[in-house]
Amino acid sequence: MDYEALDGAILAVLPKNCEVLSVAQHGSTNIIEREELVGMAEAEYEGQKAIASVIPDNAVVPVAWGYFSNTKAKAWFMAEFSNLRARAPPLEQFLPIVKQLHQKSVSPTGKFGFHVTPFYGPPPMVVDWTDNWEKFWVREFRSGLNYVETMRGHDAQLLEIADLFIEKVAARLLRPLQTGGRNIKPSLCHGDLWDGNIQFNVDTQQPVIFDPCSFYGHHEMDFQCMKSPRYIIGQNFIDLYKVKVGASEPSEDFEDRIALYAMAKDAMKLLLEKYPDGVASFKGSLEPTIAILDEASTCDGASDDSGVDISALAQESESRSDRADRTVAGPAPKPADSAANKVLEAPPEERRLARSPVIEDVALKATRAFDLEPSRLDEDITGPDSEHHASALASPARESGSSEAASTNSSILYRAFSYLLSKLKI
């Protein structure tokens, strides 16, 4: 990038009578020169604009986005300067910010979706408007599978297990949210809310969030990154949110829904075994809910004066921020000849007996599919940091042949499906 001059399209959006004194690189500037990804600039602008409209004191304020003056193969995104430092905020300070984002935001259509296409890493999300949350999630899940197939080739067994997972687990955990008189409000979700996208404004002493892949969805989706043990803002924040704000009904499914959204480690296998009968195992009513609930009702199940002592949660989170090494090492998987699909079709008791060889078989398959070292099987890669993420975008695995780029460039897989293969450990 030429730091001696600004493109005319950028100059055109600067304030009137503005004089450019200097142009310099600040922080880690990432430039992605791939025409199919120019929509990221618009997505970043629209997502950040939506967030800033709800929590203006705690969001990077966008200014504009656009194409370069001489080509539409390159785009840019501009925001107001913020003097930020990489520091995780205290849980009790951050909680009301996330609560306000979820409760005060209003979907312009009253449905789940977004008006522009956000990107979760390289792959674009599918965010066409729908009033059915189960449909939204399953559609995006299948989109992730399609991306994996494009990058890694066809895998019939993987797709077969995915179909079973959608039929049994997704239906069981998501359908009750909008049936039997229950309903959920489409809330504005950041979409990638991990501590790398949360920093402290030195001037205002307020937490600031940025780098979203925003959409209107079930607010509990914003906890997907927090299930990872490598992040400072993690399970303690989820616990605190449930205590102080509440969980969507049925509340007893809360932890399993978060596991579904996070797809962390052994979650898919555990959930398949827990719900072998699918939605038929739900004991309540599954009649579609017609009435629209009050906007705050499903995000405010508990009051702030609940009386629960949460000091331990906050103290544990703060102690975690001092950890220098948060990686997790695990044993190498052992090969096996068992077929996952046969075991999944077996009765629950037989599945439990056959669990270990299935897990080993699937884990071994993952190391080959992702060019991973066996020692990395237990390493949590739920949310690659922005620098690695940008590196993967600029040098996709297909072109570079790098195993590191292959790992980060498949982030949607890790988020939506790779844990079935590479993270299972029971």
State the number of CA atoms in the 13 A half-sphere of 59 facing the CB: 25
- CATH class given for the domain over 1-80: alpha beta
13-27, 111-125, 293-307 — which one is most confidently predicted on average? 111-125
pLDDT at 318 over 70: no
Separation between Cα atoms, residue 245 and residue 51, nearest integer Å: 20
Is residue 222 within 8 A of residue 191, CB to CB? The reply is yes
Q: What is the mean pLDDT of residues 365-379?
A: 45
Q: 372 by DSSP, 3-state: which?
A: coil
Q: Which two tokens stand for residue 280?
A: 């038929």
pLDDT tier, 399 (very low <50, low <70, confident <90, very high otherwise): very low
Q: Is the pTM of this model over 0.75?
A: no
What count of other Cβ atoms lies within 10 Å of the Cβ of residue 235? 19
- pLDDT (tens digit, 9 = 90+) per residue, 177-225? 999 999 999 999 999 999 999 999 999 999 999 999 999 999 999 999 8
- Could you identify the residue written with the tokens 């600067």? 14
Of 50, 293, 321, 307, the C-alpha closest to 179 is: 293
Q: What are phi and psi of 74, to 5 degrees?
A: -135, 140
Question: pLDDT-based confidence at 371, cuts 50/70/90?
Answer: very low
How many Cβ atoms sit within 10 Å of the Cβ of residue 206? 16
Of the CA atoms within 13 Å of residue 48, those in its CB half-sphere come to 22
Between β-strands 84-85 and 62-68, what pairing exists: parallel, antiparallel or unpaired?
Answer: unpaired
Q: What is the mean pLDDT of the chain?
A: 74
Instruction: Name the strands in the sheet holding 206-209, side by side, starting at the edge strand that comes first in the sequence.
Output: 84-85, 198-201, 206-209
Domain 82-288 is classified in which CATH homologous superfamily?
A: Aminoglycoside phosphotransferase (APH), C-terminal lobe (3.90.1200.10)
Helix ranges, 75-180 (H)? 91-104, 133-152, 156-165, 171-174
Angle at 177 between CA 176 and CA 180, to 5 degrees: 55
For the chain, the farthest-separated pair of C-alpha atoms sits apart, in whole angstroms, at 75
Using DSSP's 3-state secondary structure scheme, residue 206 falls into strand
Tens of pLDDT, residue by residue over 40-76, are 999 999 999 999 999 999 999 999 999 999 888 889 9
Q: How far apart are CA 243 and CA 226, in angstroms?
A: 16
**118-to-46, 75, 124, 260, 352 alpha-carbon distances in Å:** 9, 15, 6, 21, 40
Separation of alpha carbons 290 and 305, rounded Å:
32
Structural domain spans, the chain: 1-80, 82-288
Model confidence at 255: pLDDT above 60: yes
Q: How far apart are CA 351 and CA 340, in angstroms?
A: 10
Place of tokens 């100059």: 11
**The residue type at 390:** A
The HSE-up count of residue 407 (CA atoms within 13 Å, CB side) is 19
pLDDT at 293 over 90: no
Task: Compute the half-sphere exposure of residue 117: CA atoms within 13 Å on the CB side of its CA.
Answer: 14
Residue 209 structure tokens: 């969030």
Query: Buried b / exposed e across 70-105, counting CB within 10 Å, b at 16+?
Result: eeeebbbbebeebebeeebbebeebbebbbebbbeb
